[in-house]
Structure 1
Amino acid sequence: MYSPQLPLARTRVPYSSSSSETPNADPGGLEASLLQFIHHHHEASLGLREHTERAKKDAIRNAARVSDLLVDAVNGGVQEAFVNQKRIELEIRALAATIARFMKQTDHWLTATHAINTAIKEIGDFENWMKTMEFDCKSVSAAIHNIHQA
């Protein structure tokens, strides 16, 4: 069966000057050394913790700065693309207006040329009618002339 070990209690043994101890022994020297060692370890641990916290804060600050720089770099390209997109949209609108104006002008030209073609056809039809009438008049005149001579 397992029984947990209880921590040993720290007791201080009073110093007694007996002849069995060496005369150079420092009273409480071991305990004082241990306390000094623990105190030194605690201070070193606190210093290391503070150094770690400063390094952590510096790392977070630097990471935030790098993140901001990356966002600025990406946003700069995005912003430039957005400006170019707006410029292109304005050019497209201007081009669409120009195309609409040219389409109206082309429609007017088509209407004018169609009217000219119709007029030319009518002139051609009139000329053909005139030739037909002239031929008919000559035929009637020749018939009357033949009748008159006969």
Structure 2
Amino acid sequence: MLSRLVKEHQDKQSRYKDQQEKRRKEALASVQKLTHTMVDGINLGVETAYENQRKLDQESKKLLSRSTKYMKQTSQWLSLVEGLHNTLKGLGDLEQWAKAIEADMGAVLETLERVHKDSASET
């Protein structure tokens, strides 16, 4: 009877160990599945972030290139406008000079007319 009780106890212990091992394997498989699912989700987020970063880098390079081109073009335009401004300034100075000459010539003409009139009246 004692040996039967011992045998029953050992059988129960063996079944209990088998059940525990089966549950441990199931838990381990569940944890692995959960871990893989979480890693896949995280990797998807990381992949999306990496792709967005790559696109931002490309757009930044394009923007820098366009900005540099715009700055060069703006510099050229400024040079052209400055040249035009200087030319117009020179024309303004020329106009002032022409007006001064015209005024002087008017004064000379008036003087010559008076001299001519005075000499005609003396004769």
Same-fold call, TM cutoff 0.5: yes
Unaligned runs of 5+ in 2: 119-123
SS at match of 2:6: helix
Deviation of 1:54 (Å): 2.2
Aligned mate of 1:113, from 57, 72, 81 = 81
SS at match of 2:109: helix
RMSD: 1.4
Q: Distance in 1 between matches of 2:92 and 2:38?
A: 78
Q: Distance in 1 between matches of 2:78 and 2:66?
A: 18
What amino acid sits opposite 1:139 in the alignment? A
CA deviation profile, 1:103-146 (whole Å, cap 9, x unmatched): 11111111101111211121121012101101111212322332
Deviation of 1:82 (Å): 0.9
Is the aligned partner of 1:41 residue 2:9?
yes
Aligned to 2:121: none
Deviation of 1:76 (Å): 0.4
Deviation of 1:36 (Å): 0.5
CA deviation profile, 1:43-101 (whole Å, cap 9, x unmatched): 11012112201211221122022111101111101111111111011111101110110
SS at match of 2:78: helix
How many residue pairs get aligned? The number is: 118
Aligned mate of 1:98, from 55, 66, 74 = 66
> What pairs up with 1:19-30 in 2 under 5 angstroms?
none
Normalising by structure 2, what TM-score?
0.87
Aligned to 1:55: 23
Q: Distance in 1 between matches of 2:8 and 2:111?
A: 149
Q: Distance in 2 between matches of 1:97 and 1:125?
A: 42
Aligned mate of 1:136, from 104, 112, 117 = 104
Normalising by structure 1, what TM-score?
0.73
Aligned mate of 1:69, from 26, 37, 43 = 37
Q: Distance in 1 between matches of 2:90 and 2:115?
A: 36
Unaligned runs of 5+ in 1: 1-32
Structure 1 stretches of at least 4 aligned residues deviating more than 4 Å after TM superposition: none
What amino acid sits opposite 1:142 in the alignment? E
